[in-house]
Amino acid sequence: MCLEDYGWSPFFLERFREYQERGLSPGRVSAVYRGSCLIQTGDAELRVQTCRCPEAPAVGDWVAWRAAEFSTPVIEAVLPRRSVLRRKSAGPRTEAQVVAANVDVVFLVMGLDGDFNPRRMERLLTMTYDSGAIPVIVLNKADAPSDGVERRRLIEELALGTPVLLVSALTGAGIDGLRSFMRRGQTVVLIGSSGVGKSTIINRLFGKELMPTREVRAKDSRGRHTTTHRQLVSHPGGGLLIDNPGIREVQLWASEALADSFDDIETLARSCRFRDCSHQTEPGCAVLEAVSRGALSEARLESFHKLEKELRYLALKQDGAAQREHKRKWKAIHKAFRHNLKQ
């Protein structure tokens, strides 16, 4: 394989030139470990250290690395990303967790069994729109005893214009529809809950047991994580896939994409009497009027308000975290300045 097979393009070549002049080589990160990464160079797969890199590499990143004659090669820089799928990290800290970088297509995998949840799909769509990648919704377990056609219609209503595919990883039905997104140099990442069938879908796409799988619990259709770390793999027929550990909680990171996820509400809002209408109690609200006549579900509007409130709160926390980091930085500078004066 060559670099182009791994997604190398003029976009990355232009941003690599300064490192090329310094004698560094390009590579794409296929797995991340503590203190090291696996990278694909086109000629080989290498284990490289990340100790000199100012930014933590993520799976899918393109990096500039330097060979060492008597030690392990070292990554010195992460190239600017063309797209980045991210979410708020778990816990109280206000920081982003990169799920995957330089992704072209995101398979949003949801089960048609007990995993089915339109409100979670709204969150996944918002996260994907924010990334810059193209979302494709994959409703797995079409073989399960559920009304798959009706559930597909519900998802299509909240994801206007987004492909919604019915598949069964168990039987292989619908898998050919996913293969149409597997093209040379194009990267696809799968995200969804644990036990939703992401690893089984990848095995179907590859035609062999590439990823380990486990049975899900019958009472809630959930499973334990079979994928414990992110990994980029190349498909023999072209394209690249990133398997991703199951996401228990989808915490959003940025608010700019909310309008894309709720395009129906944004379209209705243009007819509201007031420009700053919050769609809650204002007179002349076209959104509330649509709810009253059944053109918009109350549950969808409630989800919009919930995500809007969550992202507003996150923005305040991000501002606070940025201010604390700014103070910490200048405190360190002043401390160093005072230390130098004493010498």
Backbone angles phi, psi at 179, to 5 degrees: -65, -25
* 202-216 tens-digit pLDDT: 999 988 777 655 555
pLDDT at 308: 81
Q: Quick check: 52 and 74 in contact, CB under 8 A?
A: yes
* 258-281 tens-digit pLDDT: 777 788 898 899 999 998 899 998
Whose tokens are 């494709």? That residue is: 136
Q: What is the CATH number of domain 84-243?
A: 3.40.50.300
Domain ranges of the chain: 3-78, 84-243, 262-343
Tell me which of 101 and 199 has the higher pLDDT: 101
Question: Which phi-psi region, left, alpha or beta, contains residue 90 (left: φ > 0; alpha: ψ -120 to 50)?
Answer: beta
Indicate the pLDDT class of residue 324, thresholds 50, 70 and 90: low
What is the token pair recorded at 31?
Answer: 């797995």
* pLDDT(44) > 80: yes
pLDDT at 251: 59
Q: Quick check: 285 and 272 in contact, CB under 8 A?
A: yes
Instruction: Classify 3-78 by CATH class.
Output: mainly beta
Burial class (CB in 10 A: 0-12, 13-18, 19+), 282: middle
Model pTM? 0.76
Q: Quick check: 23 and 48 in contact, CB under 8 A?
A: no
Give the Cα separation of 199 and 181 in Å (integer). 17
Handedness of CA 85, 87, 93, 94 (dihedral sign): positive
Indicate the pLDDT class of residue 74, thresholds 50, 70 and 90: very high
Give the Cα separation of 127 and 108 in Å (integer). 10
Instruction: Please give the CATH architecture assigned to the domain spanning 262-343.
Output: Orthogonal Bundle (1.10)
pLDDT at 178: 93
